[in-house]
Every structure is written in C-alpha cells, then in structure tokens.
Amino acid sequence: MKFVLVLVAPRGKVSLTDAMVERVRRSVAGGEAAWLSPGEAAEIPCMMEPERALIAEALDGAPIDALCVKARGRRKAVLIADMDSTIVTSETLDELAGEAGVGEQVAAITRRSMAGEIDFTEALRERVALLRGLDITALERTWRKTELMPGARELVATMRAHGAVTALVSGGFTYFTGRVAAELGFDSHRANALLDDGSRLTGVVGEPILDRDAKRAALHEIAALRGVKLGATMAVGDGANDLAMITDAGMGIAYRAKPVLRQQTRLQVDHADLRALLFVQGYPASVFRA
C-alpha cells in the first residue's frame, strides 16, 4: 500500500468507533485498519490517496480529522513549530496588548496579518509601537497566563525520544519562545526581540524581523544541520506567516488554521490536539513520552 489514511478524534469530545473506521475503510477501498489509540486514532492503508468527499461522507459529519500521507518516510527527523495558537493556546502579543490597554486594536491587526491581508513585518512593527511605555513586568504576567496546547508536551518529547531535532520558530518574541522551549524541551528557538530601556518597552522590535521567509530559511537551515533532506521534516503552524515553511516541509500541517492557510495546505488538523502530529507519523499512543 502506497498511502496511509489516519483518522484522529478530539479527545474528550468524540470517540472514534469501529463502525466509523470500517465505513471509511470501505469507502476508500482500504486495507485492514489498525488502532494507534483506541477510540482516538486509527490508520488505514490505501493504494491511492482517497477523495476528501468520500471520507467526509463516511464520517457523516463527525468532527474527525483525516490525514493521508505516503506510507514510506512517515517519521520525520526534524520538527519546526510555530508558537502562538499552535504550541500555546493564545497570541502572546495580543495578551501583552491587553496589559497595555490596546487589546482590541492590536487583536484586529493580528487577525488581518494572520489572514494574509496585510504584510506581517509592517503589522508587527505597528502592533509593537502600540506597546510603547508598557512596564516590562507585564511580560511575566502574560507568561503566567500562557497555556500550552494539549498534546504539545507529548509531541516534542516523543519526537526527541526517537531522535528528531525540534525547533520553535515564531514571529512572536524571544521572551516567550525561550520559556516555552525550556518548558517543553525544544532543542532551539527563534523569534523576534522586544526592545526595552530597562524598565519599559520602547515600542520597537529588534531587526531583522523574523517573518515568513525567515521561518522558511530556518526550516532549510535546521534540516541541513541535521543532515536530512526536506522530505524528512515536519512543519506546523496556523497562520499566513507559516505558509512558506509548511509548503517546503516534507509534512506540512495546518493546525486549527486561518482560512488562507487551510486553503493552501493539504494536511489539516481542525479538531484533534497536537497528538495528531504523532499519529500521522505512525506513532502509537503506547510509545508517547511526556
């Protein structure tokens, strides 16, 4: 079988049943299904990549993610992950803006930037300028409110345990990526620098700004350092700024993504948590690390 179709259910919301899996298997003329995590994830070998419409019809509207990948080379040696709304549940810049009293204004710019409606670099400069004068203690308060995305810890720990290099590459800020990387065990992190005068933010972001092209360059650089081709890499993100690295990666995942990214990305996780990125590589839950 040349392909594997992986079905993943959102934990605590919907259970993937034998009947669901069998309906999908029949609709795609697949081989014998195997459970990766009972009630949560199963895989079905296929000779051809099935049509999404057939899978959706077989699932009868159930919120189950379906990801089809080539059977060979599923497990990746490099993971490049966006941070905001991907590895953490929030947009840290928007949270900082709330501390500064300009939350709604900054959030509106963020939405347009992540949707690809305005240039990321200019949008970042504009948003950071609105933070001018904010006491740097707001950074710590924002960090204390930041929550990890479900499955993030297992994703990083399991891939590292199996020899993968993991990197957090964000258009956000090093203050947060450093802490997230340390908390989860990422091998490295890259992001933008918020400048301050020792007590307050200056409203300026350090140059050069880490944008979509820099994310793409990071993917290529880290793959080269690991000594693997791009086919052995995985990239995950949620916004327009992630499109270039997701397109170039061997396995690019749009995670609960904005429409502009979903429209241009074949592999999408809309319902399940980040454990789906392990299942799609063929890892059973029994080998997950945390």
The answer to whether 247 touches 279, Cβ cutoff 8 Å, is: no
DSSP-derived letter for residue 82 is: -
Do 158 and 275 meet the contact criterion of CB atoms below 8 Å apart?
no
Longest dimension (CA), the chain: 64
Give the list of residues 6+ apart from residue 282 with CB closer than 8 angstroms, or none: 4, 36, 43, 74, 75
What 3-state class would DSSP assign to 12?
coil
Q: Which helix (H) or strand (E) holds 189?
A: strand 188-192
Catalytic residue numbers, as ranges: 82, 84
The four Cα atoms 268, 244, 259, 130 give a dihedral, to 10 degrees, of: 130
Residues β-bridged to residue 192: 173
Residue type, 225: L
Strand order in the sheet with 34-37: 34-37, 41-46, 3-8, 65-70
> Both ends of the chain: CA-CA distance in Å?
32
Reduced 3-state DSSP string for 180-225: HHHHHCCCEEEEECEEECCCEEEEEECCCCCCHHHHHHHHHHHHHH
